[in-house]
A = this chain, B = another copy of it.
Amino acid sequence: MTKKMKLYDFPKAPNPRRVKIFAHEKDIELELINCDMGKREHKTPEFLTKNPSGKIPVLELENGECISESVAICRYLELIKPEPNLFGKDAYEIAYIESRNRHIELELWTQIGTSWVNGPIVGSLGIFDQIPDAKAASDKNVRAYYQRLDQEFGLNNFVAGERFTIADITLVSAIDFASEMVDLKPNEDLKNLHRWHEDVSSRPSMQIEG
């Protein structure tokens, strides 16, 4: 029996989902280990030896070495199994896809995160002090970014040009989380954005649970 790589995961957590979609696209099977965030299992001393940041996902290799951060994990999977290519083929394309992935992460995902930690679900846990002004600002930034994306999808079929890449996985996970968990679903009139979302969501890799 071949030993599989383990992915520390939790249902509905968007960052482990990114890795699960990516692995499915690559046809790489991972053993999913439930890390119960409700029980704060991602903050135990044992888990912190796997990732000092106390976050999931974490990929544990066959030799016990661990990699944290969803994009770093996906890049590892790309390097050990290059096809189908999702990070770019030459220096320019690799850099361009990374820049587009970072735009989504640093300009949209961070704002969704601010709305999430200052929203009702996290608020009800009583772990963080809520800052309503911060949520109002980040909600507005998310809405403005959706407008920008809608314009961009009028020009390109995917986030980084004309083919599906890791940047699309980053965006679909952001929008689904924002829609389901933060009440920031894109408005119906953003036709290009919805066209892209429907298109990408029909892929087999998107049908996996959580």
Interface residue range, chain A: 20 to 34
Cα–Cα distance between A53 and B75 once the two chains are bound (Å) = 24
CB < 8 Å: which of B71, B75, B91 contacts A80? Answer: B91
Instruction: Tell yes or no: A79 within 8 A of B by CB.
Output: yes
Copies of this polypeptide in the complex: 2
**Residues of chain B lying within 8 A (CB to CB) of residue A37:** none
Chain A 106-124 interface residues, beta-carbon cutoff 8 Å to B: 106-107, 110
**A contact set with B: CB distance below 8 Å:** 52-53, 61, 65, 67-69, 71-73, 75-76, 79-80, 91-92, 94-96, 98-99, 102-103, 106-107, 110, 129, 131, 133-134, 137, 148, 152
**10 nearest A-B pairs in the assembled complex, by CB-CB distance:** A79-B91, A76-B95, A72-B98, A72-B99, A69-B99, A69-B102, A72-B95, A67-B95, A131-B133, A68-B99
> What are 20 inter-chain pairs, A to B, with CB distance below 8 A?
A52-B148, A52-B152, A53-B103, A61-B92, A65-B92, A67-B92, A69-B98, A69-B106, A71-B98, A72-B102, A75-B98, A76-B91, A76-B92, A76-B94, A76-B95, A79-B95, A110-B110, A133-B133, A133-B134, A134-B134
